[in-house]
Amino acid sequence: MKIIMLGAPGAGKGTQAKQIADKYGIPHISTGDIFRANLKQGTELGKKAKEYMDQGLLVPDELTCDLVMDRIGQEDCKNGFVLDGFPRTIPQAEALDKALANINEKMDYAVDVDVPDENIVNRMSGRRACINCGATYHIVSIPTKVEGICDRCGEKVVLRDDDQPETVKKRLNVYHEQTQPLIDYYKKQDILRTVDGTQPMEQVFGAIVEILGA
């Protein structure tokens, strides 16, 4: 079962991807993890990616796709995988389709965790992170026992810069411009499935399981 997770930043697709991976015994593949692993291991693809990253440039689509395909080719992916954070754009989706077609494979599902912008801004501006150990909380759904203090280490928790409402709105604009077109792209391929991401996490997961089959 080969699945792509779609959804705006803060929609909760990463959390759902991890749960899908656990339930179906398939790897959760995030591009961030792939980059870190290749850089750490000093692979050829990792070295190429590092050249761009060191210059503050985006890693080109073809190279990102090569890194993803290299990961997909590993033994633990033989029964499927969940892609989280890739593809982000139509050119990346096209590169992925082409690379999969070369090995007679194709994606089975693109699951869109749909959450209105307003909900995302509220959700993310309620997040808090510990400045010391990195533990994360939410002032509504996962509050700290003592307001403003980390349960784990007793240091201060703060609203991170990338969770500030203005930053979130900018990230959402980028998402609507670059990533949202993927919804139509996968709809045309008849593999798009949409779930209501405003529901509690367990219900969202339940809806996804219903789509994928028990």
Is 127 a catalytic site residue?
yes
Ramachandran region, residue 56 (left: φ > 0; alpha: ψ -120 to 50; beta: rest) = left
* Residue of 18, 50, 88, 152 marked catalytic: 88
Which residue among 18, 152, 171, 187 is the active-site one? 171
160 annotated active-site: yes
**CA pair distance 173, 102, nearest whole angstrom:** 34
- Pick the catalytic residue: 48, 160, 187, 193? 160
Q: In angstroms, how far is CA 121 from the centroid of its own chain? A: 17
The three-class DSSP label of residue 115 is coil
C-alpha Rg value of the chain to the nearest Å: 18
The token pair that represents 199 in the structure block: 């529901």
Q: Where are the alpha helices (DSSP H) in the chain?
A: 13-24, 31-41, 44-54, 61-72, 90-102, 117-125, 165-174, 181-188, 201-212
State the amino acid at position 136 in one-letter form. T
Residue 36 catalytic? no
Query: For this structure, is 13 an active site residue?
Result: yes
188 is catalytic: no
Which among 13, 71, 123, 128 is annotated as catalytic? 13
**CB-CB contact of 34 with 68 (8 Å):** yes
d(CA 198, CA 183) in angstroms, rounded, equals 18
Residues with catalytic function: 13, 88, 127, 160, 171
